[in-house]
Structure 1
Amino acid sequence: MSVDDLKQRSEVHENETWKIEDLFSSEDVWKDAYEDLQKRIPEITIYKDRLHEGGDVLLSCLQMDEQLKEKLIPIITYAQLQLATDGTDPLNQARQGQARALIGEYQQAVAFITSEIIALSEEAITSYFEQAPDLHDYETPIQEILKNRPYALSKETEETLAALGEVHDAPFTIYQQSKSSDLTFSPFRDDLDVEYPLSFALYEDKYEFSEKTSVRRNAYEKFIEGLSRYQDTYASTYATEVRKQVITSRLRGYESATDMLLHNQQVSQDAYHRQIDTIYHELAPHMQRFAKLKKRVLELDSMTFADLKAPLDADYNPEITYNESAETILEALKVMGNEYVSVMEKGLYERWVDRADNIGKRTGAFCSSPYGSHPYILITWTNMMRGTFVLAHELGHAGHFYLANKHQRVGSVRPSRYMIEAPSTMNEMLLAQHLIAKSKDKNMKRWVILSLLGTYYHNFVTHLLEGAFQREVYKTAETGITITAQKLNELKYDVLAGFWGDSVTLDDGAALTWMRQPHYYMGLYPYTYSAGLTASTIVSQKIAREGKPAVDKWLSMLKAGGTLEPIELLKQGGVDMSTSEPISQAVNYVGTLVDELEKSF
């Protein structure tokens, strides 16, 4: 088998792809929508310099802006989804460039709205709501704008920054484009001299989990070899992103870039550091025990970084088809009630999911939920049982935003990133509970525990350590130290070494892990995975104990969208994240899972 055996996108069976035509029936229809919106965007400037005139004017302006957003979102999503399925296709690249340009035109046209609302006095805002009662429909986005009042620049400066939106997004765009179409890897051979093709998706979704030590380690060696060739370029790209945030935060009057990014998340410094520090220090002993257990059971000469995701029970590594996985997920989620399950059924059987593997497809998994349409889930299906948890995770995002889109206006749908991973990991928790309760096979129960630990590893280890690393990067940048590949490697290595101690043998390649995820270009996103999983751990246990009352609270949170700040949203959902108690409880639960494994071997 060689790398040439990987399919082109055109060779993939339709049933394995998402139904992109639900957004636009053809390329021509998309182009017509694009051109129509491009003509309409300038119309909103009739309200420029007029928002001081009264509530009716502001209401009309926000209504037009809402209409523009509802047309813009599917246009942008279509371009993004097409690029995600094949980043090597010049048409997809060109379309994405057009979409970014359209975003820039929209942002530039509506920039005055934020500036002019910020310029209004509290008395004026109050009177506006009295003059135009329908303005209450837009209260959430208005209040979000007003929270930025202390950090706003001049109207002219804000409009200039908005016009440069595409430029500001350039580091992320460059990273994604290079990762999908430039970065390639040499094939590798196992201990029997069998050759395997290597791609980002194949490594992260398959080889990293291989039961064969030679496959894991040899794939890792070639994977790191490929990454290392681009480390200086990727470091420059990431350094540009970090520098952008640092400079912007200073211009706006924040104490630091961290303060600015947390302000956007509606999260305090205390909550941010509490989440990282509690897990980093309290979870490390449990994960070190887990690593040492793997080394002993798998009879490894050493526990290397390439071995961390090796299956602990190599003789029990079940495969599963997509349809079997779908049935299992639906059974597990029955506890959530008919309304929620019906959304899951649509997602699984009405081609919301793109599960093919082809050249140029984006790695990993994600869910995009455009307002006015159904969600779209990207995953690479490898018939490994672990994929069931990944699929359930992305369906959690889909269910969240399907319900939020249904119950909220477009400007009030998205909550803070701090809690965005709670609905997705809830599905994983419920899936694990179902599998443990259903199975009488001790091997299956042990496999489920291992899968749960895989979920916690992903969120409490992989992404939490990304967050800890990211925190150090911003600290370093704030002092004026130049961010280079060497510095990033040093920071990442230190974070990994501090967590794993002597339980894992780290090589220099482990430090290049910072190159593997796009989350660093999304603000302080990585640490929020652990916040979401903390919440879902606590509430899933409540659902197991209480049933419908706990479910109803959770669903009410999903439907609330972004109408509340994240701590308040999660309280509505059934968990209080204002202290470290739920974090420690979740970490202790992970410890009990490791305890169970140690007893079973």
Structure 2
Amino acid sequence: MIFESNYLKKKNILSILVTLSILVVFTLSQSGEAKNTLPSREEISTEYKWDLSDIYASDQAWEDDFNQLEQNLSSIKVYKGKLSKSSTNLFEALKLQSSFDRSLSKLYNYAARKRDQDTRNNKYQVMFSKVQGLYGKFVSTVSFIEAEIIQIPTDKINQFVKEKEGLKLYQRYLEEIIRQKEHYLSPKEEQIIASTSELAQTPSNIFAMINNADLKFPTIRNEEGEEVELTKGRYYQFIKSNNRQVRKDAFDALYNTYLDLKNTFAATLNANVKKNIFYSKVRGYNSSLESSLAGNNIPVKVYDNLIKTVSDNMNSMYKYVALRKRALDVDQLHMYDLYTPIVKDVEMEFDYEEAQDIILKALEPMGEEYLQVVKRAFEERWIDVYENQGKRSGAYSASSYDAHPYILLNYGGGISDLFTLAHELGHTLHSYYSNQEQPYIYSDYSIFVAEVASTVNESLLMQYLLKNTTDKEARKYLLNYYLEQFKSTIYRQTMFAEFEKEIHQRAERGQALTAKSLSNYYHQLNQKYFGDQIIIDKKIDIEWARIPHFYYNFYVYQYATGFSAAISLSQQILDEGQPAVDRYIDFLKSGSSNDPISLLNKAGVNMTDSKAIEDALDIFSDLIDQMEKLI
């Protein structure tokens, strides 16, 4: 799943543009392989294609808006150096900035959706490139606004808000700048820091080029005994193979390749850590962790609490590992045995219409209001359903403030496709409610809560399927699917979060991050998280070298916290009914009108204590007990 929120509000535009470019290249290469078997865009029935005319009636309308915005962008410069002069100047500048941002969001959405439906179409590649360029110009043009606001005394800003009614809309925006004011520097120093942004991307860019372009893997024998070149895509297939020798060969071949470049990967990761430490020190934070969480106003104790709570509940994971060992009937369980299914494949296929019916039944606990929006998504062509030649791979939900959210799928009819549809509908309902209820400036929601709504939908779907599945093999299949989500989202992501925290702390203490020290610590973490019922193969020690998230600056913990919050909320909805539904929908409507911890707390989940995580892990333990009775 690729969740796509309003990218115009992200701070690090360079990394976003790089990511988008990589995705386009990947999609083009994939579409080239499948062009002889996939239908063309024109061969897909209209009812299964999204209707982008809700954003712009025509390409010409897009061009007209683009040209008008490009011409008007410089008009905001009239306020440069004058924001502190009067409340009217501040209000007009903020209103114009928000208007430009909103227009850019609309332009971006249309161009990106058009591009993604067929990435081979040069016209829409050009349109997308144009809006990227205009966004860069926009960022540069309005950069003075935040810099000047920082220099205005807080008392004066408060006085401005009192005397100018229109500024009340921007009060939270201003308060967020004031909240972090002590960490801003002088305008000249800020300019110097801003000039380092491209340089700061160097470690992640080098990693991406080595990892995605330069690494060459050896050949191994597949299940049919044929010599095939290992790729990262094939690795994910082979590591799930029922043939244990194929799994082992793929595991060895992949990690031997990373071991050959262990010192290079250690150097790039070390450089990235040092970059994070540099910015945290320059801005006066106590640690790089504190600095990374400050933007979303997340207390450090939320991060620490996640690690502690999971660490205190390792017995469930050890029980899962023992279950996997017994189910696979092996004398010794190895790291390359962690991803192969522990139950035989069950034929669970759903055509798209069946999937819609199942999801509507599964989401009935959410009430009629929620279901009506889901039905609109199905009936009003918010969803691009099937794969076609040149279509971007994967799935996402894209917010569109001036129309409605859009979902891209590549629906194939399997159980994972069913859950993907439910997942993206969760994002879509979150965006829909936020856009309906919030002014544009607060319509986007924090990445900290981005996966909550999607996982709530998945959890309700799983509970529905388990309740209505009597076939023993099908039930085992569903339980295995659910167990894997808990394992990969809570335990694995928390292990990554603990690794990331420790290596930053070591560097902050002046310790060297060498390939040996990184690998030794990663080995210890695997021993901690998987226990003594599995052989911690030496080659897993280098796994840290292939994880791109370690270049995202304390990002992965949010997968675990979001999943835990969602499991808690879905259980409240099933147990309490309407009161819990009302709290949850209020949360969906809140956008970024408050900090994410406060919004979740109002919905019924306190992420500053351990209860939500403990409750999720209790469900994991119960699922293991159910599976043990069936195996």
Which stretch of the first structure deviates more once superposed, 444-453 or 512-521?
512-521
Counterpart in the other structure of 1:296: 326
Counterpart in the other structure of 1:557: 587
Counterpart in the other structure of 2:292: 261
Counterpart in the other structure of 1:493: 523
Evaluate the alpha carbon distance shift between residue 424 and residue 196 of structure 1 in structure 2; reply closer, same or farther with a 3 A threshold.
farther
On the 8 A contact 1:108/1:162 being kept in 2, the answer is: no
The one-letter amino acid of 2:572's match is K
Counterpart in the other structure of 1:535: 565
Q: Per-residue deviation at 1:542? A: 1.5
Counterpart in the other structure of 2:621: 591
Match of 2:301 among 260, 270, 279: 270
Counterpart in the other structure of 1:7: 34
On the 8 A contact 1:9/1:359 being kept in 2, the answer is: no
Q: Give distance in 2, aligned partners of 1:83 and 1:479.
A: 47
**Residues 352-372 of structure 1: CA distance to partner in whole angstroms, max 9, x if unpaired?**
35764989966x654432443
Evaluate the alpha carbon distance shift between residue 442 and residue 307 of structure 1 in structure 2; reply closer, same or farther with a 3 A threshold.
same
Match of 2:146 among 114, 118, 125: 114
| 1:409 pairs with 2:436 | no
Counterpart in the other structure of 2:74: 42
Q: Give distance in 1, aligned partners of 2:456 and 2:479.
A: 16
**Residues 126-184 of structure 1: CA distance to partner in whole angstroms, max 9, x if unpaired?**
22122221211122211111111110111233345446555545555665677666666
Evaluate the alpha carbon distance shift between residue 569 and residue 155 of structure 1 in structure 2; reply closer, same or farther with a 3 A threshold.
same
The one-letter amino acid of 1:110's match is V
Q: Per-residue deviation at 1:597? A: 1.4
| 1:400 pairs with 2:430 | yes
The one-letter amino acid of 2:332's match is S
Identity across the alignment (%)? 28
Q: Give distance in 1, aligned partners of 2:535 and 2:106.
A: 47
Using structure 2 for the length normalisation, give the TM-score. 0.82
Q: Give distance in 1, aligned partners of 2:279 and 2:423.
A: 34
Match of 2:272 among 232, 238, 241: 241
Q: Give distance in 2, aligned partners of 1:9 and 1:228.
A: 38
Evaluate the alpha carbon distance shift between residue 142 and residue 466 of structure 1 in structure 2; reply closer, same or farther with a 3 A threshold.
same
Match of 1:424 among 450, 454, 457: 454
Q: Give distance in 2, aligned partners of 1:397 and 1:227.
A: 35
On the 8 A contact 2:305/2:608 being kept in 1, the answer is: no
Q: Per-residue deviation at 1:557? A: 0.4
Evaluate the alpha carbon distance shift between residue 497 and residue 553 of structure 1 in structure 2; reply closer, same or farther with a 3 A threshold.
same
Which stretch of the first structure deviates more once superposed, 261-270 or 505-514?
505-514
On the 8 A contact 2:451/2:559 being kept in 1, the answer is: yes
Unaligned stretches of 5+ residues in structure 1:
none
Evaluate the alpha carbon distance shift between residue 124 and residue 18 of structure 1 in structure 2; reply closer, same or farther with a 3 A threshold.
same
The one-letter amino acid of 1:279's match is V
Q: Give distance in 2, aligned partners of 1:311 and 1:326.
A: 27
On the 8 A contact 2:98/2:441 being kept in 1, the answer is: yes
Counterpart in the other structure of 2:466: 436
Q: Per-residue deviation at 1:46? A: 1.4
Match of 2:532 among 493, 502, 508: 502
Q: Per-residue deviation at 1:308? A: 1.3
Which stretch of the first structure deviates more once superposed, 162-171 or 147-156?
162-171
The one-letter amino acid of 2:301's match is D
Q: Per-residue deviation at 1:409? A: 2.3
Q: Give distance in 1, aligned partners of 2:329 and 2:221.
A: 22
Evaluate the alpha carbon distance shift between residue 337 and residue 272 of structure 1 in structure 2; reply closer, same or farther with a 3 A threshold.
same
User: How do 1:306-345 and structure 2 match up within 5 A?
Assistant: 306-316=336-346, 318-345=348-375
On the 8 A contact 1:459/1:533 being kept in 2, the answer is: yes
Q: Give distance in 2, aligned partners of 1:354 and 1:223.
A: 34
On the 8 A contact 1:18/1:376 being kept in 2, the answer is: yes
Counterpart in the other structure of 2:576: 546
Q: Give distance in 2, aligned partners of 1:416 and 1:481.
A: 33
Q: Per-residue deviation at 1:551? A: 0.8
Q: Give distance in 1, aligned partners of 2:88 and 2:547.
A: 45
Q: Give distance in 2, aligned partners of 1:61 and 1:454.
A: 50
Evaluate the alpha carbon distance shift between residue 194 and residue 207 of structure 1 in structure 2; reply closer, same or farther with a 3 A threshold.
same
Q: Give distance in 2, aligned partners of 1:489 and 1:81.
A: 42
Q: Give distance in 2, aligned partners of 1:58 and 1:263.
A: 25
The one-letter amino acid of 1:311's match is P
**Residues 183-209 of structure 1: CA distance to partner in whole angstroms, max 9, x if unpaired?**
6666653343256786545544x5544
Q: Per-residue deviation at 1:449? A: 2.2
Q: Per-residue deviation at 1:84? A: 7.5
Counterpart in the other structure of 1:252: 283
On the 8 A contact 1:463/1:529 being kept in 2, the answer is: yes
The one-letter amino acid of 1:140's match is R
Q: Per-residue deviation at 1:222? A: 4.8
Q: Per-residue deviation at 1:479? A: 2.8
Which stretch of the first structure deviates more once superposed, 8-17 or 438-447?
8-17
On the 8 A contact 2:38/2:387 being kept in 1, the answer is: no
Q: Per-residue deviation at 1:435? A: 0.8
Counterpart in the other structure of 1:142: 174
Q: Give distance in 2, aligned partners of 1:97 and 1:406.
A: 29
Which stretch of the first structure deviates more once superposed, 489-498 or 193-202?
193-202
Which stretch of the first structure deviates more once superposed, 566-575 or 322-331?
322-331
The one-letter amino acid of 2:299's match is S
On the 8 A contact 1:280/1:464 being kept in 2, the answer is: no
Aligned residues: 596
Q: Per-residue deviation at 1:33? A: 5.5
Match of 2:598 among 557, 564, 568: 568
Counterpart in the other structure of 1:57: 89
Counterpart in the other structure of 1:469: 499
Q: Give distance in 2, aligned partners of 1:357 and 1:505.
A: 43
SS across alignment from 2:489 = helix
Counterpart in the other structure of 1:70: 102
RMSD value over aligned CA atoms? 3.8
Q: Per-residue deviation at 1:556? A: 0.4
| 1:189 pairs with 2:221 | yes
Match of 1:454 among 463, 484, 489: 484
On the 8 A contact 1:493/1:511 being kept in 2, the answer is: yes
Q: Give distance in 2, aligned partners of 1:68 and 1:304.
A: 55
Q: Give distance in 1, aligned partners of 2:538 and 2:406.
A: 37
**Residues 397-431 of structure 1: CA distance to partner in whole angstroms, max 9, x if unpaired?**
22212221222123212343333322121111111
Q: Give distance in 2, aligned partners of 1:359 and 1:189.
A: 30
Evaluate the alpha carbon distance shift between residue 491 and residue 108 of structure 1 in structure 2; reply closer, same or farther with a 3 A threshold.
farther
The one-letter amino acid of 1:438's match is N
Evaluate the alpha carbon distance shift between residue 317 and residue 202 of structure 1 in structure 2; reply closer, same or farther with a 3 A threshold.
farther
Evaluate the alpha carbon distance shift between residue 315 and residue 455 of structure 1 in structure 2; reply closer, same or farther with a 3 A threshold.
closer
Q: Give distance in 1, aligned partners of 2:130 and 2:545.
A: 27
Which stretch of the first structure deviates more once superposed, 103-112 or 224-233?
224-233
On the 8 A contact 1:17/1:356 being kept in 2, the answer is: no
The one-letter amino acid of 1:111's match is S
Q: Per-residue deviation at 1:233? A: 5.8
SS across alignment from 2:554 = coil
Q: Give distance in 2, aligned partners of 1:166 and 1:81.
A: 27
SS across alignment from 1:53 = coil
Which stretch of the first structure deviates more once superposed, 419-428 or 323-332?
323-332
On the 8 A contact 1:34/1:75 being kept in 2, the answer is: yes
Q: Per-residue deviation at 1:257? A: 1.0
Q: Per-residue deviation at 1:521? A: 3.7
The one-letter amino acid of 2:458's match is E
SS across alignment from 2:330 = coil
